[in-house]
C-alpha cells in the first residue's frame, strides 16, 4: 500500500495539473488560428500575435515545475497522476470551444480517473536520494 | 472532411506518445542534475509540440488530449526499463484502465 506523499510533491502535482490544463487550452486556441493559412501566414501570426508566446511561457513554467517534481518522485508514479487534467480539459473544451462530449468520451474519462486512482494506490519512491538510482544508468 | 483525416491526426498523436516516453525519461535524468539530459528531453518535446500542433488541426482537443494518455504506457515501460523503477501489477492495472479510457474517447473521433 502507498505511503503519504510529501506536501511538496502534492503541491507540485497540483501545479502540474493546473499548468497542463492551461497549456492544452491555450495550445488549441493558438493552433486553431495559426493553421488556417500557409507557412508565411503562420510565421506572421506568430510574430504579431501573443498567443504562441503565452503557450511557450506556460510550457517553460510547466517544464520547471515538472523537473522539480521529478527530483522527488518516481516518473512512472507521477506521470499517470497528471491524467486528472483530462477532466478539466474536456469540460473546458466544451465550454470554451463548443466541442462535443459524447457518451463514450464520458465513460472513457471515467476509466481514466479510476486508472489514476489505481496508480495512486501503488508503492512509490518519493524524496528518495539520488544515490538510490542504479549505478549502471549513470551517463 | 475525409475519414482518413482523423486517422492522420490519431497516428500523429501516437507518434507523439512514443516521443514523450523518451523525453520524460531524459527529464527524470535531468532532474538529478544532469543538464544535458534536460536539453535532450526539451528537444524531443519541441519535436512533439510541432507534431501535436499539426494533429490538433485534424482532431478536437477533447479527443486528441485523452488519446495522449498512450504516453502513460510508453513512459511506464521506459521507466521500468531505463530507470529501473518498480512497476507493480496494480500500477499496470491503472495504466491499462487509462489506456481503455483513451480508446473509448477515440471512438468519438
Distance between CA atoms of residues A67 and A73, nearest Å: 10
Q: B18-22, B67-71, B76-80: lowest mean pLDDT where?
A: B67-71
DSSP state of A82: G
Q: Do B60 and A67 touch (CB under 8 A)?
A: no
Residue-wise DSSP of A108-138: HHHHHHHHHHHHHTS---BS--GGGS-GGG-
Mean pLDDT computed over B34-44: 91
The pLDDT tens digits of the residues spanning A92-131 come to 888 888 888 888 888 988 888 898 888 888 877 766 544 3
Does pTM surpass 0.80?
no
Mean pLDDT computed over B1-23: 84
Looking at the partner chain, which of A71, A115, A134 has a beta carbon nearest the beta carbon of B101?
Answer: A115
Q: Do A133 and B32 touch (CB under 8 A)?
A: yes
Q: Which of residues 32-71 of B touch A (CB under 8 A)?
A: 32-34, 36-38, 42, 45, 49, 52-54, 56-57, 60-63, 65-66, 69, 71
Interface contact A59, partner B, CB < 8 A: yes
Question: Regarding predicted confidence, which is higher, B106 or A88?
Answer: A88
Q: Does residue B87 contact residue B76 with C-beta atoms inside 8 Å?
A: yes
DSSP state of A84: G
Mutation pick from B98, B99, B106, B109 vs chain A, by most beta carbons of A within 10 Å, is B98
Task: Specify the pLDDT at position B40.
Answer: 94
Domain span holding position B51: 4-107
Task: Specify the pLDDT at position A134.
Answer: 43
Interface contact A35, partner B, CB < 8 A: yes
Question: Regarding predicted confidence, which is higher, A14 or A127?
Answer: A14
**Mean model confidence pLDDT for chain B:** 86
Task: Specify the pLDDT at position B22.
Answer: 95
Total structural domains within chain B: 1
Task: Specify the pLDDT at position B17.
Answer: 93
Question: Is this complex scored with an ipTM above 0.85?
Answer: no
Label residues A28-63 b or e (16+ Cβ within 10 Å = b).
bbbbeebbeeeeeebeebeeeeebbebbeebbeebb
Amino acid at each position: 500500500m502507498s505511503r503519504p506523499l510529501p506536501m511538496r510533491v502534492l503541491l507540485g502535482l497540483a501545479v502540474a495539473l493546473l499548468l497542463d490544463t492551461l497549456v492544452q487550452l491555450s495550445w488549441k486556441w493558438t493552433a486553431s488560428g495559426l493553421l488556417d493559412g500557409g507557412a508565411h501566414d503562420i510565421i506572421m501570426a506568430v510574430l504579431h500575435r501573443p498567443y504562441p508566446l503565452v503557450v511557450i511561457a506556460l510550457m517553460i513554467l510547466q517544464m520547471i515545475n515538472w523537473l522539480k517534481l521529478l527530483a522527488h518522485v518516481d516518473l512512472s508514479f507521477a506521470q499517470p497522476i497528471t491524467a486528472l487534467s483530462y477532466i478539466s480539459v474536456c469540460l473546458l473544451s466544451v465550454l470554451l470551444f463548443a466541442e462535443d462530449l459524447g457518451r463514450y468520451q464520458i465513460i472513457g474519462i471515467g476509466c481514466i480517473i479510476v486508472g489514476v486512482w489505481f496508480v495512486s494506490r501503488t508503492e512509490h519512491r518519493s524524496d528518495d536520494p539520488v544515490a538510490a538510482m542504479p549505478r549502471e544508468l549513470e551517463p | 472532411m475525409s475519414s482518413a483525416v482523423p486517422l492522420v491526426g490519431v497516428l500523429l498523436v501516437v507518434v507523439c506518445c512514443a516521443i514523450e516516453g523518451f523525453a520524460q525519461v531524459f527529464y527524470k535524468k535531468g532532474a538529478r542534475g544532469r543538464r544535458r539530459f534536460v536539453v535532450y528531453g526539451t528537444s524531443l518535446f519541441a519535436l512533439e509540440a510541432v507534431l501535436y500542433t499539426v494533429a490538433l488541426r485534424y482532431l478536437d482537443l477533447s479527443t486528441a488530449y485523452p488519446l495522449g494518455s498512450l504516453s502513460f504506457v510508453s513512459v511506464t515501460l521506459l521507466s521500468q526499463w531505463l530507470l529501473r523503477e518498480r512497476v507493480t501489477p496494480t500500477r499496470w492495472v491503472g495504466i491499462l484502465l487509462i489506456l481503455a479510457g483513451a480508446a473509448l474517447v477515440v471512438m468519438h473521433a
